[in-house]
Amino acid sequence: MITWIKRLLFGRKPRVFLGVAAVLPRTDVKRHFEEIVAGSVIELDTNLQSALKHLFSMPLLTARDDPLDDDRVLDVIVTHHQAGGAEVVQLDEYAIPLAWRPKVTVTARLSDVETNAPINTYVVTEKQPWLPFIQTKARLPDFEQLLWGTIFDNKIVIRLLYRACIKVLTLVKKDLK
C-alpha cells in the first residue's frame, strides 16, 4: 500500500528484471519439410535465441542486488516459430500443394518478484502476409531457393521476432503505468 502511494506521489515506476528468455524447440511436422528445403532448424533456433537475448537487454533477475518490494520479473518465451515454405505432396497421380508462411509467437509473463504472482500474460503472434511470402518464393528459382532459403527465411523470422517483442514491450509498458 505504501509503495503504491509513493509511486503515485513521486512517479517512480517499478523496476523490471529479465527472468527467462528462451526458444522452445519445435515439435510440429512442418519442421521436417523446412529441414529438407532450408537446411538446419537448429540454426534458426540459435539465431532466435541470440536475437531474443539482444532484444531484452535488461538486468537479469539473478543480478538484483538491492531488492525493492515493487520489483517485477519478465519471462519471455518464443513458444512457436516457423520459417515458412512450400512443398508439393505427391499421392499417386494427385499432387497436393502445401504452403505455410513465416510465423513467430512470443509469450511473456510479467509477475511480482517477491510473491511470484503473475500480473499479466501476453501472447503476441506475428505472421508474414501471404502476398510478400508468395512474391519471395516466386522470385527465386528452385535451385537458388535450395541454396539461399535459410538466409532469407531466417532474416524474415528474425524480423517477425523483433516486431512481436516490440509489441510485448509496449503492452508491458502500459501495464507499468
Please give the pLDDT value at position 147.
Answer: 45
How far apart are alpha carbons 10 and 21 in whole angstroms?
Answer: 32
What is the per-residue pLDDT across 112-150, written as a single tens digit (0 to 9) for each?
988 889 999 999 999 999 888 877 766 655 445 544 454
Cell digits for 152?
Answer: 532469407
Cell digits for 151?
Answer: 538466409
* pLDDT top residue among 69 and 142: 69
What is the per-residue pLDDT across 54-67, written as a single tens digit (0 to 9) for each?
888 888 887 778 87
How far apart are alpha carbons 93 and 108 in whole angstroms?
Answer: 46
Which DSSP string do the residues of 75-86 spell out, in sequence order? EEEEEEEE--EE
